[in-house]
Structure 1
Amino acid sequence: MTADEIREEIKLLFNPDPNLVGIVRRGLRQPRLTKKHRLDLSYLETFDWEGSSVHRHTRLQDSEEVDRLTRNSDMPDRLMYSALQLLAESIVTYADREKREGEIRYYPAIVLTFWSGFESFVRYASELLLVTVPSVSPPVRQYLREIEEVVDARGRIKTRTKYQSVLDRYSVFLASAYNLQTDRGNRFWQGLVNAKALRDSYTHIDVNLPRAITTGDVLAFMEQTLLGLIWPSSLLGRTIMLEQYFLYETLDGLRGLAKEYRERPFFLDWHLQEPSLFHCNFEGVDEDRFPSVRSDEYHKTLSQRARKANKRNDDSE
């Protein structure tokens, strides 16, 4: 397919037939979930679909807390859709390139944005749980909100932030909201762990370990993240995140249009065999090891290298 043909297919993915609503698009057109991943989605085989105004889990609210949450409730899937749009743009951009690699442009941003959608969902769903279920214990409430109460030397109770891993909070959320104990050895949970590791490699870059990232890496990362939502949904017979099947369907469509491409740091494959120039403007630099190009030591080094090169040429003749 040409870039223009791919662009038209992508338009249909993000702007499907408006008549295809509810049950028609909520997972039943995605055989990959049932055939490849062997997930039981039989709970979707009903016209009483979650998210409709008449579903048994649709509730009436007259609450300031829920109102605040509602006004921000689409941020998780909006962030994920933003990442999918960026993936679509990369597919079009790279479609006709003969050389199947280039500099970092799209892929790290896709990873960071998509995962931020997942993190936003965990935070939103946790807060909704705490607002609507009064029986959640105080320690669990503090854990999900990443706070803790401490007593100072004067006996005053204070609250401070206490960081908790998003996957740990997600596991506690599933247990508290649905009585679902997470099997951390399960392949879907391990997929989430792998997805987080890829995201962490860009939020906490190991500058001593340069790496490339491919189209396949991005597709696997996004699928692993969504399966982390769809897998417990299949166990519970309840949709954890209402947009998850729409997101998966769009991802699956993009997978069929994508060709493998590799993004990498510009200097990733450079293996320098001799000294080279680099920028370093610190105070106190070791001038013997790293002489400035304006220093006598630098020109002395150049002269020595030139003499050695001439000698090698003479010896070879």
Structure 2
Amino acid sequence: MTAVRTAFGTLERVAPDLGARWAESLWLRIPPYRGKSRPGVLPRGEEFTVRVKDRKVVGTAWGSGPVVYLVHGRGGISAQLHPFVAPLLAAGHRVVTFDALSHGASDPGFLGPHHFTIPEMASAFTAVVKEHGRPHAVIAHSLGCAAVFFALRGGVHPSRLVFLAPMTQPTPYTAVFAATLGFGERIRTRLMDRVAARVGTPWDDFDMPTQVTRIAPPPLLTVHDPADRETRYDDSVAVAKVWPESELVTVKDLGHWRVLRDQDTITRAVDFVSSRERQQPNQRTA
């Protein structure tokens, strides 16, 4: 990392365009999946594939009833959300999971192996929804929440949403990214321009708090640990403030990943998507 920071520091001064090109590749790169296999007892699911243009998206479905989609985050896989499957089936839902492009068993994305964008992930989700039907609810994690929100703007209409440790405002992360890699504003602003051009969408389109008026927002439950080191707790606070019917649950000692295995969180999410009663606006639970 010291060598990388030194190189970026030099490029910031003498060749910011070259530095931005390198930074763009790193920004769009998916970290390797480091999760461990956690065997559990699940009924045999229905394996399926859908296509986004010429790319194959692989998924699994279980059960029957109102459909709940489980959406993993950047660098994750669908199996991370398997702890939600059995409780959702017991509650009478059909459950659908999938690996986004460049993740898990699905094909590489359009930027090549180990790279992806939010719109690309949203397109995969939309293709899965087209195959399996309108969602009753979606439970999403991390950057998967941003992809789901982008799909909502494109016409997907779930009745309920659960966001677990969501990223709702991506722009502030570029400053953290720059500080980590050792470059300044000359590279950072060029990086943002390059990414916007690459995905064909301005950064503001991914800012949930300012974009929520562009959708018909369903009731939302968001769960976040203030000590999360991957996504900011402030992201959940910001979206809960403006989302018409939302509940922010603050958890402790779960970080970014353990929230997917926490039994209280799983029970709360399943109860929320299964309840027929609408939540009171902007509830907050400690």
TM-score interval, smaller chain: under 0.3
Larger Rg: 1
| Structure with the larger strand share | 2
| Structure with the larger helix share | 1
